[in-house]
Structure 1
């Protein structure tokens, strides 16, 4: 990601902290200004209103987290994969554990307040974050299908199945990382989910 000017970075960082803690509805520009160490006038010099600031925060945060998740995905699934099961388990374990607690605290707030958050901000978050990661995973699974290591199927649906089976349980039980599960339990859930996925998408003999 390109480096942001210091003042704007401070505003976005402070806003992320406040939105993650208070949610969209309860957060105020005054609170964000105090957290960021700037004046409210400075914030309004950068954004028109709270809705615009929230949109900027979720875009920046989702982009940063998506880049981290895609990098982890490439580590496990990119290049030559000799053991597909272990590669998928490694990806699933890393994907299931939130690496940025503040971002996922914000995700929990979005889930709780989605009816009160500007729809365009939610849609933009989906595009810059979850959908971008989903598309990267689809590309890897499509490659494994083309290589005959998975049966030919819809890569988009397969990507959703893999994430739901191997990371979805961790996400739901930990409330997006609010109550972390033991590492051994995360690994077992990932392995069980990957095994179910591989049985469902086994290539024909």
Structure 2
């Protein structure tokens, strides 16, 4: 005889699968249609509106969950790129250029997320301040903190001269990423690869001019 504790956990997995389908559908619909209604999300996710309300209190909570989960995905991808290019540096300029290109490529890698970012940028007054702050905390701020950590490690090795790693991370972001996101409207308008390379190269070289140690300073390999 099978006890209650031995019963398979399929219902719970089904609940989680439906929740993820709803969140994926919400990202697609919000990014494509703006702050659309629940019916369109239900159709995209292949569930009923009743099922959506079984998982989420209202559209605002669903949007908040959708942007936060995608922010974490993008953040994790960016952090992985930081580790790939900055954990072992062989050519500092080349490694920073590679990292910057990877950051820009994230807009094409996660189009639904950046569509949501465009929506929030255009209609920030429609969303609760708590949701906007949670997105920033889980995504952009966390990614910048990770970059600050890596830049601090490079400074500790004598490869960079940095007094405030967080401010240096802000400078790097502004120099190599902000212009691309502004001109492409967060990935909505494709930029020519040569233009992207020109912006990134100028930004990285400007950053290095401000943070390369003076001649004669000790450097660790």
Computing the radius of gyration from Cα coordinates, the structure with the larger value is 2
The ranges of structure 1 where at least 4 consecutive aligned residues each deviate by more than 4 angstroms after the TM superposition are: none
Residue 92 of structure 2: aligned partner: 84
Is the CA contact (8 Å cut-off) linking 2:162 and 2:168 kept in structure 1? no
Distance 1:121 1:180 in 2: 28
Residue 114 of structure 1: aligned partner: 124
Which protein has greater RCO, CA pairs closer than 8 Å, 6+ apart?
1
Distance 2:198 2:162 in 1: 27
| CA shift for structure 1 position 92 | 0.7
| Structure 2 unaligned residues grouped into runs of 5+ | 1-12, 216-221
TM-score by length of structure 2 reads 0.87
Equivalent of residue 185 in structure 1, options 166, 176, 195: 195
Across the aligned residues of Structure 1 and Structure 2, the Cα RMSD in angstroms comes to 1.4
Distance 1:181 1:77 in 2: 26
| CA shift for structure 1 position 23 | 2.3
| CA shift for structure 1 position 41 | 0.5
| Structure 1 unaligned residues grouped into runs of 5+ | none
| CA shift for structure 1 position 204 | 2.6
Deviation string for 1:148-185 (max 9, x for gaps)? Answer: 21113211110011111111111111111111212222
Deviation string for 1:89-134 (max 9, x for gaps)? Answer: 1001111231211110110000001111111111111111111110
Residue 53 of structure 1: aligned partner: 62
**Number of equivalent positions:** 200
